Amino acid sequence: MRRAFLAPGLLLILVAIGGRYTLDRAGLVDLAWVDLRVIGVLVALAVLILNSAELRSGKAGREGWIIVALLFFLFQIASGLWAPPAARVGPQVLDLVLLGVLLVATYQYTTCDPETVIRFAFQLFFVAAIVYALAAIFISGPGEQGRYSAFGGGPNVFARIEVLGVISAIALFMLTGRVLPLLVIPLFLLATVLSGSRGTLVAGGVVGFAALLKLRHRLSAAGIAASVVVSLAAVGLIWALAPPAFTDLFQERFVEQTVQEQYLSGRTDIWMAAVRLFADHPVGGAGIDGFYGLIGVNQAVEYPHNYVIAVAAEGGLIGLGLLTLSVLLWTRIVHGGGHRPQLTGLAVASTVFVAISGLFSGDYYDSRLAWMFAAMAAAAALVAPSPAPFRAPAAPLATVTR
């Protein structure tokens, strides 16, 4: 099996990281209709097709979870038929089509060479997290709420990229044995806190705790002690080198708002409104973007800020059933790690982190990184490593006797 050509992976991941990047974000207001996601996906697909002769897809099988996921996306698109008049059906359909394409393209691409593709993905996210963190701190600065982000994106998505940078640093250390990536983790943690994204920190903490729990039998007392010392040193370094806005943001958002006032940015009210919408439309939901069309349009709320509750409100039991079935089929594949336990585990950790983050913020398209890492994890677990080429032993040299 030939090694994967890296250009398609670069394009797919750039599209996923960039989000909804229209040219008005670059100052070209007259070209606001140009959606760079579509251009990037088309170019990536063209490169994949052109290199199809070079990249032979590995025999994976058991793609039922992807088929169910695509049926789930198709049902969401079809639900636009009964969505309320104020629903933004067109943009939502484009998001779901691109989400399905990213899922299938990532899976097909990863099956060609899981080791190369997944390692390359973590390298890209590691570099992207550095670029985003530096851009947020030294270029963009704090927004109106004192929260940091970069390149015109929201603080929550920015925080996800930073935590994925932490996972990528750990992945590169595990895959290469180099300690250098671990030294950048304090920068990622600092940027995550500056984003003010409480849900992202909770999701990262849950995944980190689960990883430590899974690896507890492999950790020695010396290793645990060293981890504690490094963690304390990282916290001290962050506190010493952080900009002045860091302490103000930490005090206001995490101590005063969260602990003392128990303020959750109105999330509980939004979730309860979406749950009531599900109770009113239990079978097929209110239709795609039905939450905005019936509730959010009057309250200036874009979406339910919880992926599962949004699916329930807008897709009903049918949508929830398809999503649950896809997740269960995928879990059966990645459980145990398959052919590549280490790579599968790292991709699963990234998937679960983004999925948990989606329970606190984001819309359907913001789940794209979870679906893409899920595709990488499934490919790593299913595709058997190529057997080493057989080399016939060299014939012994004949000796000439006289």
- 344-402 pLDDT, tens digit each: 999 999 999 999 999 988 899 999 999 999 999 999 999 888 665 445 455 554 444 44
What pLDDT is attached to residue 402?
44
Which amino acid is present at 88?
R
CB half-sphere exposure, 147, CA atoms < 13 A? 18
Task: Report whether 307 contacts 355 (CB < 8 A).
Answer: yes
Q: What is the spatial distance between Cα 239 and Cα 289, in angstroms, rounded to a whole number?
A: 42
Quote the mean pLDDT of the chain: 83
Which token pair is 37? 């996601």
For residue 61, the SS3 value is coil
Ramachandran angles phi, psi of 35, nearest 5°? -100, 110
Which token pair is 332? 């059966």
- Classify residue 22 by its DSSP letter: B
Q: What is the pLDDT along the chain (402 residues), one digit of tens a residue?
A: 455 567 778 888 888 888 777 666 666 666 666 777 888 888 888 877 766 555 555 556 688 999 999 999 999 999 999 999 999 999 999 999 999 999 999 998 898 889 999 999 999 999 999 999 999 988 888 877 778 888 878 888 999 999 999 999 999 999 988 889 988 998 898 889 888 888 898 999 999 888 888 876 666 666 566 666 766 776 676 666 666 665 666 555 554 555 444 445 678 889 999 999 999 999 999 999 999 999 988 888 889 999 999 999 999 999 999 999 999 999 999 998 888 999 999 999 999 999 999 998 889 999 999 999 999 999 999 988 866 544 545 555 444 444
What pLDDT is attached to residue 145?
75
Task: Report whether 193 contacts 250 (CB < 8 A).
Answer: yes
Give every CB contact of residue 171 below 8 A, 6+ residues apart in sequence: 119, 122, 346
Question: Which of 263-270's residues contact partners 24+ apart within 8 Å by CB, and which partners?
Answer: 267/305, 267/306, 267/360, 270/301, 270/304, 270/305, 270/306
Domain ranges for the chain, please list them. 7-57+64-124+246-382
Look up tokens 């039998």; give the residue.
217
